[in-house]
Amino acid sequence: MTTTSRTALDPQRVQRRTVLLLSSAQLLSGIGNGATLSIGSLLAVDLSGSEAWAGSITTVLTLAAAISALPLAKLAENRGRRIGLVTGLVAAMLGALLVIASVVAGSFLLLLVGAAFLGLGTAANLQARFAAVDLAEPEHRGRSLSMVVWAITIGAVAGPNLIQPGAVVGSALGLPPIAGPFVFSVVGLLLAAVLLFAGLRPDPLLLSRRLASQALGADGGGQPPVRGTLRSGLGAVRSSPRAVLALAAVVVAHGVMVAIMSMTPLHLQQLVGGPHAGHHGATDAGTDVLVVIGLTISLHIAGMFALSPMWGWLTDKVGRLQVIALGHGLLVIAVLVAGFGQHEPVLVTIGLMILGLGWSAATIAGSTLLAESVDQDQRVTVQGVSDTLMGAAGAIGGATSGITLAWLGYQGLNISVGFLAAVVLVMAVATAAGIRRINPGA
């Protein structure tokens, strides 16, 4: 890069453009995930012939996202954010096509393969939030990251509402109606991939490295060392107490959230519909069951994403540690409200909404702190490790929550996972207090 081009290039102008592009891509690709979460379980039951496989799509998608996080991070580390993100989105588009093909062919195995490829899109969407802070100034990192997270809201809300229009489109294309929503997924993922491939230039990660090298008076043209392993990423985290806290904040928040969210519809089904309610609320109160469950999950999702910009602003203005503590404090309040209010649908719904708010605050503040707590050459790998462990925590939380519910009941489930959130809350408060003792002005 010549002196003239360096002068003409304004990193903060590139940063604003990058956040806009990432947010737009999140909106488009979020439609794909919304359709999968909405009707994935229905497809699984239809194609497998058994309700025992109802959760298989979510499980496969979550595991695929966790497994692919590090390879996509390694690709981004070597080739830049643009290539890493586009690769994940293109794979997800292929997954949506495979889902359509599975419905046409009546193949449950093909449906699982499609869900796995869709998981790569989930991993790419998670990594997009880190791409938003590559060029961000320290005082604006939380805001930039939160805007990309917030953009998921529109896609998450739009996805389920495209089921009926998707059925019409599917019929017009000669497809089974239930496959129609995935046509929107294909289009959304394709547009997101094209948008990032064409527009994410210069690449924010490569540019940030170049600027850092120039600031040190070094040659910024060389390639970074290839890391990209779980071991090296965990080693980098262990070398920074703040990174350890940040990783714990993100991983625990996600595990707690998934464990409670995945079992709440079943609890509400039994609570509102009665002990003999079927899996679809097949009782005289069936309609009420579906309404209550739908409202509860909708408010939970709103809590997860709708206030993301506020958490980003607080992260920048108040502090990373303080917002992590606030987020895990909200998680503790959520499990207490939902757990001790287990016999009141209103209290369960309020608890789930607070759970979403706590997850959002902890994830945004934790991700921001993690991104700035390790060296530049280790950052992308550590971010990949974070997403891998985050996905693993979600998978473990979802897999063990049913057993815990059977053993301890809904209240016991809430209290047991709430203990984990309380541990991180204590860690965050203790770390912040320690910093204030060392540096009273901090």
User: Residue 90's pLDDT is what?
Assistant: 97
User: Residue 197's pLDDT is what?
Assistant: 97
Confidence of residue 96 (pLDDT cuts 50, 70, 90): very high
Residue at a domain's end among 156, 179, 214: 214
Q: Does residue 221 lie in a domain region? A: no
Q: Does residue 198 lie in a domain region? A: yes
Please check whether residues 237 and 176 belong to one and the same domain. no
User: Residue 5's pLDDT is what?
Assistant: 44
* pTM (predicted TM-score): 0.83
pLDDT tens digits for 129-185?
A: 899 999 999 899 999 999 998 887 766 666 656 767 877 888 888 888 888 888 988
Q: For 287-291, 356-360, 370-374, 433-437, which range has the lowest pLDDT when averaged over its residues? A: 287-291
User: Residue 266's pLDDT is what?
Assistant: 80
Comparing 232 with 193, the larger pLDDT belongs to 193
pLDDT tens digits for 309-333?
A: 999 999 999 999 999 999 999 999 9
Please check whether residues 172 and 240 belong to one and the same domain. no
Please check whether residues 102 and 144 belong to one and the same domain. yes
**How much is the average pLDDT of 360-372?**
95
Please check whether residues 144 and 55 belong to one and the same domain. yes
Confidence of residue 295 (pLDDT cuts 50, 70, 90): confident
**pLDDT value at 284 more than 60:** no
Q: Does residue 1 lie in a domain region? A: no
Confidence of residue 255 (pLDDT cuts 50, 70, 90): very high
pLDDT tens digits for 176-228?
A: 888 888 898 899 999 999 999 999 999 999 999 888 888 776 544 444 444 56
Please check whether residues 120 and 80 belong to one and the same domain. yes
- Print the domain residue range for 111: 7-214
Say what percent of the chain tops pLDDT 70.
86
Domain count for the chain, please give it: 2
User: Residue 366's pLDDT is what?
Assistant: 96
**pLDDT value at 250 more than 60:** yes
User: Residue 245's pLDDT is what?
Assistant: 96
pLDDT tens digits for 27-86?
A: 888 775 666 666 776 788 889 888 677 668 878 888 899 999 999 999 999 999 999 999
CATH number at residue 92: 1.20.1250.20
pLDDT tens digits for 382-404?
A: 999 999 999 899 888 877 888 88
Please check whether residues 177 and 326 belong to one and the same domain. no
Please check whether residues 267 and 324 belong to one and the same domain. yes
Q: Does residue 431 lie in a domain region? A: yes
Say what percent of the chain tops pLDDT 90.
52
User: Residue 168's pLDDT is what?
Assistant: 85
Helices 230-238 and 241-273: crossing angle in degrees, nearest 10, is 110
User: Residue 15's pLDDT is what?
Assistant: 94
Residue pair 205/377 in contact by the 8 Å Cβ criterion? no
**How much is the average pLDDT of 332-336?**
98
Please check whether residues 190 and 232 belong to one and the same domain. no
User: Residue 278's pLDDT is what?
Assistant: 45
Please check whether residues 260 and 357 belong to one and the same domain. yes
Please check whether residues 49 and 198 belong to one and the same domain. yes
User: Residue 19's pLDDT is what?
Assistant: 94
Please check whether residues 169 and 27 belong to one and the same domain. yes
